[in-house]
Amino acid sequence: MIPFIKMHGCGNDYVFLDCFSNPVPKDPSTLAVNISDRNRGVGGDGLVLMMPPECSNVVARMRMFNSDGSEGSLCGNALRCMAMWLHQSGLAGLEFRIAMSDRLMPVRILHSDGQHRVARVRIEVGSPIVQNPSAAEKAMFFRKVDLSHLLLPELSHPPVFVSMGNPHTILFVRSLDALDFFTLGPAIECHPEFPNRTNVEFVEIQSVKSEASPRAKVRVWERGSGETMACGSGACAVAVAGVASRLLPNSIPIQIEMRGGNLVVIWDQFNSVFLEGPAEEAFRGFFPADIG
């Protein structure tokens, strides 16, 4: 049997394996598909391996696999959950770093309740970078994407592509309620413009740029997982796209409202993006090893 921990950030839920105390699964991609199945498995948006560090300047490293078995390069909600577990397990203090993919993620525990296994965590996601699948536009933090042949809803701004180390396509819509979400989400995710696929965020701006508390309402189609209740890197990409498009202000907290809850993003004057939000443990259990 494989012991697991189910945790989520704003409903973006993952099955976590403690690979400090247990062996790393031989085939994590297949295990991710089976364990994420909401009808036959534990259920979740993917699988996260919490692993010992390989270098001295981090406390742990993380690997995340989407529910379709593909490996992800960044997941802000899962990182916050893992940070909570590391702190509440006594493996980390209040400030530390986690390695994921090709980056080191600084983490700060803002609040922790070990008894109820909840926390509020801030992570530094880093600078937005260009990950252009078709042409080099390295001088830009974002680029416009031509999706004109798709039957898009009424847009308030042209579609924008942002990379936070993983790809995001942001569409600013006038109304989320008028959206054909389940048609457009997969169509854009697998569009030929994105040979490695893309996350898709549909955004309805809830405030004007001059307001003290800027807000954006977002619905997420996550690459490799479909609709998710929230997406941490997606929240960051929305804030970056909103600021770059002059729809949202820079260097102040932006409230990102997702179906599972609210996240806070700041893109500061030094070009660093910070993500803040809750983390919560749901339950623990065991999964049959022969199914993984």
pLDDT tens by residue, 148-203: 667 677 788 888 888 888 889 999 999 999 889 999 999 999 988 888 899 999 99
**0.85 cut: is pTM over it?**
yes
Question: To the nearest whole number, what is the mean pLDDT of the chain?
Answer: 89
Q: Using DSSP bridges, classify how beta strands 12-18 and 2-9 pair: parallel, antiparallel or unpaired.
A: antiparallel
Instruction: Say which of 75, 81, 190, 236 is annotated catalytic.
Output: 75
Helix pair angle (76-88, 232-244), 10° resolution: 130
**Percentage with pLDDT > 90 across the chain:** 69
Between 225 and 85, the more confident residue is: 85
State the average pLDDT over residues 35-60.
95
Residue 81 annotated in active site: no
pLDDT category at 289 given cuts 50, 70, 90 is: confident
How far from 129 is each of 51, 72, 164, 197, 227, CA to CA, in Å?
Answer: 27, 17, 6, 17, 24
DSSP codes joined into one string, 172-222: EBS-STT--HHHHHHHHHT-TT-TT--EEEEEEE-S-TTSSS-EEEEEEEE
pLDDT at res. 137: 34
Q: Average the pLDDT over 269-281 and give the result.
A: 94
pLDDT at 143 over 60: no
pLDDT at residue 32 is higher than 90: yes
What b/e string do you get for 146-173 counting C-beta neighbours within 10 Å, with b at 16 or more? Answer: ebeeeebbeeebebbbbbbbbbbbbbbb
- For residue 90, count other CB atoms closer than 10 A to its CB: 8
Mean pLDDT throughout 78-103? 96
For residue 75, indicate whether it is catalytic.
Answer: yes
Domains detected in the chain = 2-124+278-291 (3.10.310.10), 142-271 (3.10.310.10)
pLDDT tens digits for range 60-73? 999 999 999 999 98
pLDDT at 139: 32
